[in-house]
Structure 1
Amino acid sequence: MLISLSDILPPLLQGTMVTGKLFIMSSLLAIVVSFVAGLGRLSNYTIVRALISFYVNVFRGTSLLIQLFWLFFALPILGVELSPMVAGVLAMGLNYGAYGSEVVRSSILAIPKGQMEAAIALNMTRTQRMTRVILPQAQVMMLPAFGNLLIELLKGTSLVSLITLADLTFKGMVLRTFAINKTPEILGMMLVIYFIMAYIITLGVRWLERRVSVGRV
């Protein structure tokens, strides 16, 4: 039976490493998906806009937990077996990428039309207009929303404990079964660890905001 904090902390830190790994990979996937889907919804091609809209509506309109269960429990029946980590990354990345796509799309649309017209007048290509004029301005508006989204993603990682991935939440729940009398300490330490991770994300986003805002009014 666990009797001290020194017995509790190592397993929680092991789970924190798994949570951190899951968060990093899911965040990278979510950011890539956000930009691909966000730009896709502004495409000149109707079929592209329709497909992206379908993806966004499905992943925003259904439960993340069910999406996670579907990838981990349903796909093997169809002949595709994913590890808990891969299933977690895909579910988290695709789900939060759908939300992030709206951040990208709305931020781009918020840029005054005069900016695009000026870029066209300078004979810039569509890619040059987007990468040199629109996105540099839109990213300033995107960062706060992406910061909130990343914190939500971090908290959402706790769901992977339900598909046997030994993350922070999973480790904490296992510890409770061996030391029910230490439940307040275990859950309290989990809260502190999640808070520290979220605060680090907040500081990182604020630093990026200062960097991209340099020279802007």
Structure 2
Amino acid sequence: MVRGKIQMKRIENATSRQVTFSKRRNGLLKKAYELSVLCDAEVAVIIFSQKGRLYEFSSTDMQKTIERYHKHAKGGQTSNTEGEQNLQQLKGESEIMSKKIELIQLSQRKLLGYGLSSCTLDELQEIDCQLERSLRSIRARKAELFMEHIEHLKAKERLLKEEKERLCHQMSAQEKEVVTHGSQNSQISSEIDVETELFIGLPEMRCS
């Protein structure tokens, strides 16, 4: 459904006028906030309703914004001229930046292999040199990453070897301890056997 064009005149119905005021007031304050955030602009809005109620929004301190407004307003034509000069300077800088971006995008497309049909031999040679320089840089970085990875693996290998040696020493110590305990147990067993052999039976029953 297409909305009809609203005539710019006072709304006679008080209820409709109040509803329209509330909606458009909120929309205006919202737009002022969005403008201040998106464009990093200093925005101040002051609204008085028909009954004299105040509504306001300021992206910074309201009083400082008003003082800044008075300062610029008192400048008169001089301030306007400076503002126009600044605007023209910004426009010029914007055009320069746009041209630089366009050239960078064009160069990027050529490096990717697009739009080469319009290039001269010198331009193609320059692109070839740029690609060679880029490849050298990429290969150097790739080799650097490989070396870092190899050093990391070597360090990990050293740690594993040290852990293996530590475990081997620990196992050797445990084996020696087992052998020692086994020898002691055998000696104790032999002593028990000797004592048992000497005291079996009555003395008079032993053979001479």
Shorter-chain TM-score above 0.5: no
Higher strand share: 2
Higher-Rg member (1/2): 2
- The TM-score range, normalised by the shorter chain, is under 0.3
What is the TM-score with the length of structure 1 in the denominator? Answer: 0.18
